[in-house]
Chain A
Amino acid sequence: MTKDECKKLVLDIIADIAPDEDLSDVKPDVKLRDQLELDSMDFLDIVMELRKQHSIEVPEADYQELASLDSCAEYLTPKFNALV
């Protein structure tokens, strides 16, 4: 998986949990919270969906790694590539 594919996948999850957000212009280097209306319940769901859909575990101490799309890609891509 490439980092771009990983970002796409995170966006798909956000689209799933927050269908009322406009995701057409999410800036990868800006914190998701600063450009979208996402609260801690939504971040919990991003983590839970990663586990449910992709068997990726994000321990609570690492939640900050999910702050922006870029940091998500940095953090999650190796995890995806380690899966199989």
Chain B
Amino acid sequence: MSNTEHYDVAIIGAGMSGLAAGIRLAHFGKNVCIFERHNAVGGLNSFYSFNGRKYDVGLHAMTNYVPPGVKGTPLGKLLRQLRIKREELDLCSQKHSRIAFPGIDLTFSNEYALLESQVAEKFPSQIDGFQRLIKKIKTFDDVALEIEEVSAREMIAGYLSDPLLVEMLLCPLMFYGSAREQDMDFSQFVIMAKSIYLEGFARPYEGVRHVIRILLEKYRQAGGKRKMKCGVHKIQKEGNRVGRLQLDTGDEVTADHIISSIGSIETEKLYQEDTTIQKDPQMAPGVLSFVETITVFDHSPETFAWGDETIVFFNDSDKFTYACPTAEVDPRSGVICFPNNFEYGSRELAEGFLRVTCLANYDQWANLPENVYQETKRKWFDQVVKSAARFLPQPQLDLEKITVATDMFTPRTIHKFTGHLNGAVYGAPNKIKNGKTSLENLYLCGTDQGFLGIVGSMLSGISMANFHILQAGK
């Protein structure tokens, strides 16, 4: 008994949200420990090296980019709350991005006016409604912790009458954050619309590893502890509270408060029977997962006549289907990202990168024997890249000759590194905004709390640490 370590706060998962919560709590003197099952931090947004080359997972771009001096936005709040200097993040703005549907494109950048002028030009009958919708988005309190759910499609229908414009606007927002098939909760739509259309994309020159390095350093300086390769295996209840945490190592620890970033159902599974969880209709797991192909070229894609676009969201018909496909992959729509095409100033990435993301079905990938899995990956790699190429100019080089490496992740990879059921990138369809669970001293943060994107995930950790622990004076 006396050997059991005790913490003020135990945090489950060292992703962006868990680290952010940890920094806040450690900064204000709490004895905090983060328990992470993997060897690597970052969770969904991480990085790895393979054959001597560095790769990012998750992050194409950070959303919520605003230029220095713009205040009162999520990025500014994040920097203040974590005591990060803006320059430290080394954010480099996107060049420009595009939503590509058959025969029609909408280009947008970090200047909102460009999107507005594109809508005015291509959907002249919709521009008034579009401007009213943007006004509604600007004034909507999207981060309220107690809020009624409303269908985004129903709300938008009150502003826009052209279904094609609705599909085009929803496409990037769903790809970058929706845990729900076909529709979004309106507050989630607002969070995403602000973060992408009104604010924008940026990337640190060194990618996601740069952000994670800063978070780790802040956490360490504040005195936070972390245990790697040491997940929480089980939560032992004591009445309505968490009693002990059983770790993967077999050790036990106790804590006054527990913040879990691993997902709402994934957290409940630590202390409830599966049958109890399945009876709760609010506790349905997410089904939206992705594959991503990464192609590395020996020089920048701009030189192939592929231009300087940062991200292209494509869909090959007028109707955009955002749902779990029946086949392994749905190549009809996807996201193309060129990490080279950010404003790095005089710096330049040493190699050219093409990343293409498409919706995928977890079950189809989950149980393939290893050799079939590898073969299936190869098959879809080619189809995904081919599908994306339809929305890019004809390359003026033989791409095969200049390809120096490829890699691909699947729903299986996502499941392995995040522990999310079904490899569901954005977690469960029902978000729990106030972070409460059925146990008094156990709170959620991260994906299933429901602030989206990288900035959102960190703000989620911050808000939950503030709301449940610091502000409550606990």
Query: Which residues of A are at the interface with B, using a C-beta cutoff of 8 A?
Result: 16-20, 37, 39, 41-42, 44-45, 48, 51-52, 60
The reply to whether B80 and A44 contact each other, CB–CB distance below 8 Å, is no
The reply to whether A39 and B77 contact each other, CB–CB distance below 8 Å, is yes
Smallest CB-CB separation from A42: which chain B residue? B80
The reply to whether B83 and A17 contact each other, CB–CB distance below 8 Å, is yes
The reply to whether A41 and B77 contact each other, CB–CB distance below 8 Å, is yes
How many B residues face the partner with a CB closer than 8 A?
Answer: 20
- Interface class of chain A by DSSP: helix
How long is the Cα–Cα vector from A20 to B76 in the complex, in angstroms? 9
Q: Taking the complex as formed, is B49 at the interface, i.e. its CB lies under 8 A from any CB of chain A?
A: no
Q: Can you list 14 A-B pairs, Cβ within 8 angstroms, ordered by A?
A: A17-B80, A20-B71, A37-B76, A39-B77, A41-B77, A41-B81, A41-B462, A41-B466, A42-B80, A45-B80, A45-B81, A52-B27, A52-B29, A60-B473
The reply to whether B86 and A44 contact each other, CB–CB distance below 8 Å, is no
B346-358 CB contact bits vs A (8 Å, 1 = yes)?
A: 0000000000000
The reply to whether A44 and B471 contact each other, CB–CB distance below 8 Å, is yes
Q: In the complex, what's the smallest C-beta–C-beta distance from B27 to chain A, in angstroms?
A: 8
Q: Taking the complex as formed, is B102 at the interface, i.e. its CB lies under 8 A from any CB of chain A?
A: no
How long is the Cα–Cα vector from A18 to B81 in the complex, in angstroms? 9
The reply to whether A52 and B85 contact each other, CB–CB distance below 8 Å, is no
Interface residues of B in 37-89 (CB under 8 A from A): 68-69, 71-72, 76-77, 79-81, 83, 85-86
**Which listed residue (A19, A42, A52) contacts B28, Cβ 8 A?**
A52
How long is the Cα–Cα vector from A51 to B29 in the complex, in angstroms? 10
Smallest CB-CB separation from B69: which chain A residue? A20
Q: In the complex, what's the smallest C-beta–C-beta distance from B71 to chain A, in angstroms?
A: 4
How long is the Cα–Cα vector from A60 to B473 in the complex, in angstroms? 9
How long is the Cα–Cα vector from A48 to B72 in the complex, in angstroms? 20
Q: Which residues of A contact B81 (CB under 8 A)?
A: 41, 45
How long is the Cα–Cα vector from A65 to B222 in the complex, in angstroms? 29
How long is the Cα–Cα vector from A45 to B470 in the complex, in angstroms? 9
Q: Which residues of A contact B473 (CB under 8 A)?
A: 60
Q: Which residues of B contact A48 (CB under 8 A)?
A: 28, 470
